Chain A
Amino acid sequence: MADKVDVIIVGAGPAGIACALTLAKAGVETVVFERGEYPGAKNVMGGILFTNSLAKLIPDFREKAPLERPVTRRKFLALNDRDAVGVETMFDDFTKPPFNNNFTVLRSKFDQWFAAQAEEAGAMILSETVVDDFIYDDNQKIIGVKSRREDGDLLANCIILADGVNSLLAKKAGMRSAFETKDFVLGVKMVLSLPKEKICERFGLESDNEGAAYEFFGGVTDNVLGSGFIYTNKESLSVGLGVGLEQACKLKIKPYELLDRFMEHPFVRKLVKDAEPSEYSAHLLPEGGYRKVPQLFTDRVMVCGDAASLVNTSVYHEGSNLAMESGFLAAQTAMQARGRGDFSAKSLLKYGEYLNDSFVLKDLKKYERMPEFLHSSPHLFNNYMDLAIELMKDYFTVDEKSKSERQTLMFKKAWNRVSMMQLLSDGYKSFRSFIWN
């Protein structure tokens, strides 16, 4: 007979570790399975960690965690193949603690540190161990997991699936539908080493206690829906982009070729000049939004983080904080269930309620129309952005034409490209997706 523990967590990412840390601090016997050589070995993200949930779990994380830089300057830029038009923000409040809960990180370092905190609190982390399947009782109820190691079967009162975007286990448990390309974005990224001084100089930063996050939209991803980014780390840049999997497949666009083109764009080229490539990586993001959130709990089982598709697919790009919050709430639920000695779906119902009442599902719900809207008109944003860049360029052109003449031409150009009906219709749909649900 296999051993039994209180809680098994599959996956040592932000969701799994937030859950493990919460449980271990409360003295609950917790085992975390991680398939990587160490926590973080398989994990990639663009690079901004949103720390509102982390601050609840480890209040002094800013002194202890291997953070790269707080994000104190942001830029949002529309690109076509040669030009750039953007908005820059620098809010003085965000340049001071708690830095608006935005920090750049490199996941391999951060995840190892975060996992070590859970271990210190008493959780057991079994790295290098893949969980392949569940153990079922005579009534076909899940009561444990089968891992790919000798004597790898382990039973538990409660099993938390935090096994990431490809959650094969949530599928096996019958909690989620088939994986479809339209619900995923593929991110590709380069980490480029660059001396501190150069980073500060190029991004207008005074010290490594300041950092920049640039987000790029429009032609950067060709005609595919997606966006690019450059984030500053202490001594490197994270440069990457994400493209919708469905369209990239359909239009036969290779993601790394887009990344090459992005890095050669006149605006981007100067920022990455002479930087030394350190690592290339790729990872999927679950971008199906609220309507693609799977069944979140069943008897003895809860799903957290990317495995539960908990990513805010709007302009916010938040995921790490939703992952940690969901892990934390699953832990709360598990502890209450433990108190009752009842881990049935009915007893775990609270997990769904907690998520509904938190920013996690509230934010996803607010933007529930977004994925469908974006898929229904994938060129929409790129077309409008291209037009906006052209108009802006026309507006600032100095030549023989009078300003009135120039502006009349601009108006005609816009009119020829977008009809009033289309503008109203797109405007309405954007409004419903972005602002008022």
Chain B
Amino acid sequence: MKKLTIEDKVGLTKFKVDTGKAHIKIKPEICRECADKACVTICPVENYKLDEKGDVIFAFEGCYECGSCRIACVKCGLEWDYPRGGFGVCFREG
């Protein structure tokens, strides 16, 4: 089986994106001070990345709403909520 990148994998999933309405917001001033940055490790769709300065950048569009980052973030660096009803990830197989 051909090895898929994480982008390929997430590309298989159906989403209904609530454009411009991020359901998770990060607080850069807290993230900057955080040594662990567990969100970057644990997010199963790699929505948290580090930019060239080492700051966390976040994209909400491919989010599986699993909640791992919410629990892993012990510094309260993010506001986590569900997307609006009907939006977000929509598993076809599950």
- Could you tell me which A residues sit within 8 Å of B by CB distance? 35-37, 40-45, 106-109, 111, 127-130, 147-149, 165-166, 168, 179-181, 184, 186, 188, 190-192, 236, 245, 248-249, 252-256, 260, 263-264, 269, 272-275, 277-284
What 1/0 mask marks residues of chain B from 68 to 94 whose CB sits below 8 Å from any chain A CB?
Answer: 101110000000001111101111111
Say if the beta carbon of B59 comes within 8 Å of chain A: no
> A111-B94, A192-B1, A281-B94 known; A256 and B44 CB under 8 Å?
yes
- Could you tell me which B residues sit within 8 Å of A by CB distance? 1, 3-4, 6, 8-10, 12-13, 16, 36, 38, 41-42, 44-46, 64-68, 70-72, 82-86, 88-94
Chain A residues near B94 (CB-CB < 8 A): 40-41, 43-45, 106-109, 111, 281
CB of A102, distance to nearest CB on chain B (Å) = 18
Indicate if the CB atoms of A279 and B13 lie closer than 8 Å: yes
CB of A187, distance to nearest CB on chain B (Å) = 9
Indicate if the CB atoms of B91 and A108 lie closer than 8 Å: yes
Indicate if the CB atoms of A41 and B42 lie closer than 8 Å: no
Indicate if the CB atoms of A249 and B91 lie closer than 8 Å: no
What are 5 pairs between A and B in contact, CB < 8 Å? A41-B91, A107-B91, A108-B93, A256-B9, A277-B12
Chain B residues near A111 (CB-CB < 8 A): 94
Indicate if the CB atoms of B84 and A148 lie closer than 8 Å: yes
Chain A residues near B41 (CB-CB < 8 A): 248-249, 252-254
> A107-B91, A281-B64 known; A249 and B36 CB under 8 Å?
yes
Indicate if the CB atoms of B85 and A42 lie closer than 8 Å: no
B9's nearest neighbour on chain A, judged by CB, is A280
B88's nearest neighbour on chain A, judged by CB, is A42
CB of A246, distance to nearest CB on chain B (Å) = 9
